[in-house]
Amino acid sequence: MSNIAQQSLNRRQFLKSAMALAGGVVTLGPTQVLGANRWEPAHWAFLSDTHISANPDNHYRGFYPYQNLQEVTGQLGSGLPDGLVVTGDLARLKGHKGDYWNLQKLLTPIAEQRPVHLATGNHDNRENFLNAFTHSGERDWLVDGKRIVTVKTGQVMLILLDSLLFVDLPWGRLGRSQLAWLRTYLNALDDIPTILCLHHPIKGRGALLDGQRLLNLIRPIAKVKAVVHGHSHEFAFRETDGIHVISLPATGYNQNNAEPVGWVDAHLTGEYGVFTLRAVGGNTRLNNHTEQHRWRT
């Protein structure tokens, strides 16, 4: 796989999938935490829209994102998953350096023990993010300025895509180069169930400008089983052309009172995914609600 991709794509070894924090902390790689039985489900915490500010007391709609993430990392600490993914809007609004310093501080207890993979959203500044989180490694890619992370975990592959277009404007775009990379990568990849993780939804309000291109690309590639996104601050499961589309709740704050604030506890196998809401605020009616979704074949 790597050889093919290296020939056709501008791969740069500049990130590390195991997050290295400024304090010199290097996390374990995914293969080190899978356990002896590779058939066990991969267990991942899916978070989105943490919206961490340089000011820990920053609040919006009555929510305190700093405190929320503190609570979530506390929950994770008592039952560590294999790893953690955050699908963008890591920072409060504009991706200030101080936002990421606080994010680092909050994620350190997890990152010391497990891989942490972060995607950027429309409230992130890619340069400030990359300066705060020093990475280098072989499972990360830079394609025409966009950062992509690939993670093999258990029986599945996670691919974090980069949909950040403009800082603090709602729209997102993957871009032709990233989509071309994705097509090449997927075609060269073994036949492994694959889940795409990115900030923007494919369709709907505030969606990717090139969401239809992404859908057209992945629809005929059966190994793509699901798309996990943030941005909507909404906990929801949809399906399009047999592909599961999972909208993660925000960890920072909701945008309407009907939605929870929290994260999703995911167990992923080659045949299906089991997703459990862990609500820490907002509408907690569905706290611990679990959905199982079988992958298309």
Binding site for Fe ion (CB under 5 A): 49, 89
* CB neighbour list of residue 36: distance below 8 Å, 6 or more residues apart: none
Pairwise CA distance, residues 125 & 130, whole Å: 9
Tokens of 197: 């993780």
| Residue 21 vs 119, nearer CB to Fe ion | 119
Q: Residue 161: which of 183, 138, 137, 178 has the closest Cα?
A: 178
Closest approach of Cβ 113 to Fe ion, in Å?
27
| Residue 43 vs 233, nearer CB to Fe ion | 233
Residue 208's beta-bridge partner residues?
A: 172
| Residue 106 vs 268, nearer CB to Fe ion | 106
Closest approach of Cβ 69 to Fe ion, in Å?
13
Pairwise CA distance, residues 84 & 30, whole Å: 10
Q: Residue 220: which of 242, 200, 202 has the closest Cα?
A: 242
For residue 187, give the 3-state DSSP assignment: helix
Closest approach of Cβ 252 to Fe ion, in Å?
7
| Residue 140 vs 259, nearer CB to Fe ion | 259
Closest approach of Cβ 51 to Fe ion, in Å?
6
Tokens of 3: 């050889």
Pairwise CA distance, residues 225 & 294, whole Å: 9
Closest approach of Cβ 181 to Fe ion, in Å?
25
Pairwise CA distance, residues 13 & 136, whole Å: 6
Output DSSP code: residue 253.
-
| Residue 89 vs 265, nearer CB to Fe ion | 89
| Residue 42 vs 250, nearer CB to Fe ion | 250
Closest approach of Cβ 10 to Fe ion, in Å?
29
Query: Are residues 123 and 95 in contact, defined by beta-carbon separation less than 8 angstroms?
Result: yes
168: left (phi over 0), alpha (psi -120 to 50) or beta: left
Tokens of 213: 């291109």
| Residue 141 vs 263, nearer CB to Fe ion | 263
Closest approach of Cβ 208 to Fe ion, in Å?
15
Closest approach of Cβ 171 to Fe ion, in Å?
13
| SS3 readout for 61-101 | CCECHHHHHHHHHHHHHCCCCCEEEEECCCECCCCCHHHHH
| Residue 16 vs 231, nearer CB to Fe ion | 231
What dihedral angle (degrees, nearest 10) is formed by the CA atoms of 56, 133, 195, 260?
0
